[in-house]
Structure 1
Amino acid sequence: MRLGSIIVFVALCSFTAYYIYEPIPEPIGEKWKLMLTDCFFRSLGHLAYFSELLGLKDYMGVMHFITVVESVSPVSDKWVHVSVEKFDGVEVVVYQPKQQGGDGELRRAVIYFHGGGWCVGGTRMAPYDFLARQVSNDLGAVVVSVEYRLSPAHHFPTPFEDVYRVVKHFLQQGVLAQYSVDPKRVAVSGDSAGGNLAAAVTQQLQKEPGQQIHFKVQALIYPVLQALDLNTPSYQQNQNGPILPRTLMVRFWSEYFTSDRAFFRAMMTNTHNNQESARLLKFVNWYDFLPKSYHGNYSYSAPAVTPGGAGEAKELDALSKSLIDPRASPLLVPDTELQSLPKAYVMTCEYDVLRDDGIMYVTRLRAAGVEVTHEHYEEGFHGAMMFTTWPTDFQIAHRIIGNLVKWFEENL
């Protein structure tokens, strides 16, 4: 009996170690901390999958647990005044530095969109609260953190429309004056899906008739920028990578557009394009827009095109307009629409399925004459900036935030 117990105990320990252990690329630091963190995310993903399979709760409903467990109260402290407000009906959390400048001195401002694949995340998550307070305090800036509605309850374009309404509301002379903000020193920023929204609203604002106030700069943190080719080298290299494996990113994309599982299956096999979206694949041809050092052993192969027709193909045809909408895929706009965009900061991580989206955008922005600062972390992984609090307190997160704040200080 005692021997049997020992065998069971050893077996459980072995299984646990096998489950937790995940090979981490050599350049990444704090490997065991990342293994344990990734184990939590993988476990939650497995739970979400089985919950949906059993009809208990949908996948993203379970994944939303990340948002809940990380929630904090948006309260003021001795450095920053925090308030929850509504901008054109959309909830925002506003961070204002308590330390005032000289008489009549106007402040900088940053409008920030959180990440989470348009499906999870929120302004009240501890990492975003931490980031907003640091940016506000270090820059003496007003930070507007936007609580946009999430998918799958609200598919595209609702999240975009929410953040755009906030931008349009805030960039009014009277509103900026209310917060003592200099109209010439306003930035937009976001990470991951938030970087997608930041890039999209910046493009849209440039085309807005009669818009007098524009962003001075845009800062995109490991942004997701296109949904046409989900098999770029970074998607292949990092398909089983930490925090954001390819399957989860594809799930986020499909849920952003529709809850139809046929679309998810098509996106997983990279066969979700039709003739209409295929004509824009030239803008995501990574063989042209990625430096050769990123080509690796991969050969460029354009995603398969599904002809229109009955059943699933017909559903894909109906979704093609969302696929090619620049409000969803900012990388798809022609060069002429990039030329007038403001100075940009684009951050990418080597071990991230979204790496190539960001690098291709940098290439195209520079070719269009836009000044771009590209910061690439060879030891970085997707979501690294989020891990700023115990027990997932990574050194790279503080370095990323420090470099972002420094760039704002020098350019905003």
Structure 2
Amino acid sequence: MRSNGIFILLLLGALTAYYVYSPIPDEIEERWKLMVTDCFFRSLSHLADLSELLGLKDYMGVMMFITFVEGVVPVSDERVRVTEEVFDGVEVVVYEPDQQGGDGELRRAVVYLHGGGWCLGSSRMGPYDLLARQMVSELNAVVVSVEYRLAPEHHFPVPFEDVYRGVKHFLQRHVLARYSVDPGRIAVSGDSAGGNLAAAVAQQLEQDPDQQVALKAQALLYPVLQALDLNTPSYQQNQDMPILPKTLMVRFWSEYFTSDKSLFRAMMSNSHNSLESASLLKFVNWSVLLPESFHRPYKYSAPAAESSDPSHTIAAIIDTRASPLLAPDSMLRPLPKAYVLTCEYDVLRDDGVMYAMRLRRNGVDVTHEHYSAGFHGALMFTLWPTDFKIGHRMKDNYIRWLKQNL
């Protein structure tokens, strides 16, 4: 009887170890910590799949648990004053240096857009709240975190329109004056899907003839920038890497655009393009736009220019507000200086590298910081128990760049 119990314990231990273990490249620091972190995300993803299959709750509805469990109530402290406002119908959280009596000094400002694949996340999550407070303290800046509506309840372009409306409201001179912000020292920034929105906002502001206040900088943290080719070298190399495997990124893309599951299947096979989008594939031709070191053993193969989803989603996929990498050169030339952070072990690596290349070719001042041992989302993993050394380095370097360039 006792031997049976020991056998069951060993079996359970072996199964647990098998489930927790995932192949992580040796270059990545704190590999076991990443394995355990990834185990949580995979478990939640499997639960979400099961829930959707049984008709209990849709996939993203279950995945929102991450947003809830990391939620905080942003409150003022001895160094930072926090207020929750509504900018032209859009909720924002504003972080300001605590001014005892006010000193009249004009300050920098950063408009920050959270990540989460346009489907998850919130500015009211612990990592974003902490980042905003650090930027306020270290930059003496005003930070505006935008709480945009999420897919799949609100498909593209709603999340972008929320962000754009909120940013435009903030960039009015009388609003900037209320927060003692220097109109010449404002940046837009974001991570992952937030980096996508930040890049799109920067482009659209430059195209707006009525916009009087211009951005000084854009800071894009492992941004997602195109949906045409989902089989670039980084998608191939990192399709099973934490924290963003290819299946999850493709699901984010498809749910951003539509609730039609056929788009997800087409995107997974990279057969979602059309004759209309074929002419834009030159903007994601990584055999030209990526440095040789990123090619690895992969050979360039353009996605099939035929679509199994002939609906309006094709128009959305090629819209530069959704895929900023597809913007023509004329839209890139007037853009403000840029900071682009990319990670080696990230399906989105090549999006950021190609965008940095295209910006440079069009005369934009670009700082491209690539982390050869980095993984997606690392900059936000700076709180216990998911506290990674590389996340702290990324955050320090990012804030240092803002301090020097804003």
**TM band (smaller chain):** over 0.9
User: Structure 1 residues 101, 322: closer, same or farther in 2, change over 3 A?
Assistant: farther
Q: Counterpart in 2 of 1:137?
A: 137
Where does residue 220 of structure 1 map in the other structure? 220
- Offset of 1:39 from its aligned partner? 0.4
Aligned to 1:160: 160
Q: Distance in 1 between matches of 2:355 and 2:346?
A: 15
Task: Quote how far apart the aligned CAs of 1:278 are.
Answer: 1.1
TM-score by length of 1: 0.97
Distance 1:299 1:130 in 2: 42
Aligned-partner residue type, residue 365 of structure 1: L
> Contact 1:99–1:140 (CA<8 Å) still a contact in 2?
no
> Pick from 317, 320, 333: which aligns with 1:323?
317
**1:342 corresponding residue in structure 2:** 336
CA distance in 2, matches of 1:138, 1:379: 26
CA–CA separation in structure 2 for the residues paired with 1:18 and 1:52: 25
Equivalent residue number for residue 28 of structure 1? 28
1:100 is displaced (CA, Å) by: 6.7
Normalising by structure 2, we get a TM-score of 0.99
Deviation at 1:331, TM superposition (A): 0.3
Amino acid at match of 1:236: Q
Report deviation, 1:124.
0.8
> Please, which runs of 5 or more residues in structure 1 have no aligned partner?
308-312
Q: Which residue of structure 1 aligns with residue 67 of structure 2?
A: 67
Whole-Å separation in 2 of the counterparts to 1:41 and 1:305? 34
User: Residue in 2 aligned with 1:170?
Assistant: 170
The yes-or-no answer on 1:357 pairing with 2:351 is: yes
CA shift for structure 1 position 318? 2.5
1:246 maps to amino acid: K
Hey, what's the Cα distance between the residues in 1 that align with 2:344 and 2:88?
Answer: 38
- Alignment-mate amino acid for residue 404 of structure 1: Y
SS at match of 2:312: helix
Partners of 2:3 and 2:369 lie apart in 1 by 56
Unmatched segments (≥5 aa) in structure 2: none
Q: What SS does the corresponding residue of 2:310 show, helix, strand or coil?
A: helix
Q: SS state of the match for residue 316, structure 1? A: coil
CA RMSD of aligned residues (A): 1.1
Q: Check if 1:12 corresponds to 2:21.
A: no
What SS does structure 1 have at the residue aligned with 2:85? Answer: strand
Q: Which letter does structure 1 place at the counterpart of 2:355?
A: Y
Q: 1:211, CA displacement in angstroms?
A: 1.1
Q: Quick one: which amino acid aligns to residue 80 of structure 1?
A: V
Offset from partner CA, 1:62-84 (integer Å, 9 cap, x none): 10000000001101111100111
Alignment partner of 1:164: what SS? helix
2:365 matches 1:371: yes
Matching residue's letter, 1:298: Y
Residue type of the partner of 2:397?
Answer: N
Distance 1:276 1:69 in 2: 42
Q: Is the 8 A contact 1:109 1:142 kept in 2?
A: yes
Deviation at 1:397, TM superposition (A): 1.1
* d(CA) in 2 for partners of 1:406, 1:306: 45
1:292-311 CA deviation, whole Å, 9 max, x = no partner?
1111100100001225xxxx
**1:181 maps to what in 2?**
181
Aligned partner of 1:310 in structure 2 is none
Verify the 8 A CA contact 1:88 1:169 in the aligned structure 2: yes
1:134/1:239 CA distance change after superposition, 3 Å: same
Q: CA deviation at 1:138?
A: 0.6
After the TM superposition, which residues 208-287 of structure 1 pair with which residues of structure 2 at under 5 Å, given as runs?
208-287=208-287
The one-letter code of the counterpart of 1:256 is: Y
CA distance in 2, matches of 1:104, 1:86: 24
TM superposition shift of 1:135? 0.4
> Which amino acid in structure 2 is aligned with residue 376 of structure 1?
H
> Structure 2 CA distance, aligned partners of 1:30 and 1:306?
43
The 3 A distance-change label for structure 1 pair 396 and 142 is same
Q: How many residues align?
A: 406
Supply the distance in 2 between the matched residues of 1:316 and 1:175 (Cα, whole angstroms).
43
Distance in 1 (alpha carbons) for counterparts of 2:100 and 2:195? 30
Q: Is the 8 A contact 1:270 1:304 kept in 2?
A: yes
The answer for the alignment partner of 1:117 in structure 2 is 117
- 2:293 and 2:140 map into 1 onto residues whose CA distance is 40
Output the CA distance in 2 between the equivalents of 1:305 and 1:334: 20
Residues 321-340 of structure 1, C-alpha deviation per residue, up to 9 Å, x if partnerless? 00100000000011111000
TM-aligned CA deviation for residue 99 of structure 1 = 4.5
Distance 1:199 1:101, change over 3 A: farther
Corresponding residue of 1:397: 391
Aligned: 1:195 with 2:189 = no
Greater alpha carbon shift after TM alignment, 342-351 vs 100-109: 100-109
Deviation of 1:210 after TM superposition, in Å, equals 2.1
> 1 CA distance for matches of 2:268 and 2:58?
19
Contact 1:273 1:316 in 2 (8 A): no
Amino acid aligned to 1:278: A
**Pairwise CA distance, 1:316:** 3.0
TM-superposed CA distance for 1:398, in Å, is 1.1
Do the aligned residues in 2 keep the contact of 1:110 with 1:141 (CA within 8 Å)? yes
Question: Aligned residue for 2:38?
Answer: 38
Alignment check: 8 A CA contact 1:263 1:316 kept? no
**CA-to-aligned-CA distance 1:76-95 (integer Å, 9 cap, x gap):** 11110011110001100000
Once superposed, which parts of structure 1, at least 4 consecutive aligned residues long, lie more than 3 Å away? 99-103
Matches within 5 A, 1:289-300: 289-300=289-300
Conserved in 2, the CA contact under 8 Å of 1:119 and 1:252?
yes
Distance in 1 between residues matched to 2:243 and 2:345, nearest whole Å: 10
Cα distance in 2 between the residues matched to 1:223 and 1:181: 26
Alignment match, 2:96: 96
* Partner SS, residue 363 of structure 2: coil
